[in-house]
Amino acid sequence: MTVPIEAMYSRSRFPSGPILLFLLLYTPIGIIIFLLRLFISLQLFLAASVLPHNTIIRRIVLRVLYSIMGLVVREEALENRDNSCRIITTNHITPFDHLAVSIVLPCVTPSVYDLPGALSTLLCYRDLGVTQGREVLRASARIFLNERNSPPLLLHPEGATTSGNLALMKYGTWAFELNGSVLVAGLHVWRLPLLPVAPSVLGASWAADLCFMLFSPVTLFTIRYIGKLERGESETVEEFAGRVQIATAVALGVKTSNHTVADKVEYMKRLAREAAAAANPMLNPEVHRMAQQVQEVLPHISLEQIKRDLVHTQNVDLTITNFLEGNVPEPTPESRPMTPSQAHPGPSVQLLETGSSTPVINQSQSPSHISNISKTTSKCDSPPGGISKPSVALSTAAKSFGKSASERMTSFESRKAQLIENARRKYIEKHGLQVPGYNC
């Protein structure tokens, strides 16, 4: 059964229901603990930065530091731990997974932040050119692994964080191209059931996760060693990555999935679009679809004005009725700049925009040419029988609201036909057309 991508991530930091009351009662205490931890952590960070690297005293100071911050580490299945492996792989839950592993197993992880050298060393980061591309990262990682006395390299093949409660994302292959064997471990993050603040949520920054870790009483990281896995001679990198993923999922009691980092990015984009549509209803795809239906009936009304009315009515028929009855003011046409040909017209016949078919003749025309034009247009000005064509009323509002459905439908059809005729008349007059049976 395929695991839906939305179920793999936590979208809410706080719980819902009666348990939220405990969190509200704890909030004043949590703020005090946060401030104390923040002050003490700065002191210990300064102390750890001046101590020699890879010494017992420094490791003890760091372990005390992380314990004060509320980060506690527990190890399981120690018999499967192999210190000879140069690469360690774990699942990814929070931005501080590498700190938890480095407390009990000295290691570094590729840095995605531009940090000073001393701070990167203190936080167990190593600049391997992640921002410069995958090929640069592979080359830098191979050089680092070949260095003598360098610590193991901790990698997260998932490439992004998950909630860690349901399934693992598909493991990337690049982590298994560097070496033929890896030490596989699984991570589980636990917090007090009465204060179940999520360790990390979708789209949250590392600073927000750090603040809530300092706010929470304790954050317990459980590291379960699965053991050393080696790639077979006839096994591809993809098959090896899949085998490591399955072994990690079985040890943690979760499922595997084929979702990748790209799928997570697309999911976050979709959530952002939905949030934007909720903040601005005119961006809602459903409103746009209904607006297109209204514009098929009323093509002279702009989509933007139709959407404004649909936001309130949420009904295609009601919006059409509002425009036909004049309850929504029609947009005023934008004035267009005159072209050179319009500013200095040649000898031509122009029709007035007021509905009259009387020709307006350019004053620069010669008298002989004017007489020819008058003869030509006089035939079109007088319909057969000398009867003038009745003008079409511009107002399409109904005189009264029909009492029955049939009366309202008849009124609607009549006003619709009147609107079409008005649009047709305006088009003919605008372009100066001579239409037999209409003005000829």
The answer to whether residues 288 and 208 belong to one domain is no
Q: Are 359 and 434 in contact (CB under 8 A)?
A: no
pLDDT per residue over 275-317, tens digit each?
877 777 777 778 888 888 888 888 888 888 888 888 888 888 8
**pLDDT (average), residues 348-369:** 41
**pLDDT (average), residues 158-165:** 91
**Beta strand segments in 77-208, E:** 87-89, 109-110, 125-126, 153-155, 167-168, 181-190
The answer to whether residues 173 and 234 belong to one domain is yes
In this prediction, residue 362 carries a pLDDT of: 44
The answer to whether residues 211 and 306 belong to one domain is no
| Residue 102, domain extent | 5-274
**Of the residues 239, 274, 309, which one is the last residue of a structural domain?**
274
pLDDT per residue over 325-358, tens digit each?
777 755 544 444 444 444 444 444 343 333 344 4
Q: Are 36 and 228 in contact (CB under 8 A)?
A: no
The answer to whether residues 243 and 104 belong to one domain is yes
Q: What's this model's pTM, rounded to 2 decimal places?
A: 0.66
The answer to whether residues 293 and 155 belong to one domain is no
The answer to whether residues 185 and 40 belong to one domain is yes
DSSP 195-224: S---S--TT--HHHHHHHHHHSS-EEEEEE
In this prediction, residue 372 carries a pLDDT of: 47
The answer to whether residues 180 and 45 belong to one domain is yes
* CATH number of the domain that residue 313 is part of: 1.10.8
> Which has the higher per-residue pLDDT, 362 or 192?
192
The answer to whether residues 155 and 255 belong to one domain is yes
The answer to whether residues 300 and 160 belong to one domain is no
Q: Does the residue 373 lie in any domain?
A: no
Which residues, other chains included, contact 204 with Cβ-Cβ below 8 Å and sequence gap of 6+?
Answer: 13
The answer to whether residues 209 and 314 belong to one domain is no
The answer to whether residues 259 and 292 belong to one domain is no
pLDDT per residue over 94-127, tens digit each?
999 998 998 888 888 998 877 776 777 778 888 8
Residue the block writes with tokens 């003749």: 361
Categorise residue 111: left if φ over 0, alpha if ψ from -120 to 50, beta otherwise: beta
The answer to whether residues 234 and 320 belong to one domain is no
Domain count, the chain: 3
366 has pLDDT over 50: no
Q: Does the residue 423 lie in any domain?
A: yes
Q: How far is 78 from 65, CA to CA, in rounded Å?
A: 24
Q: Does the residue 123 lie in any domain?
A: yes
Q: How far is 165 from 263, CA to CA, in rounded Å?
A: 18
HSE-CB for 193 with a 13 A CA cutoff:
0
> Which has the higher per-residue pLDDT, 379 or 200?
200
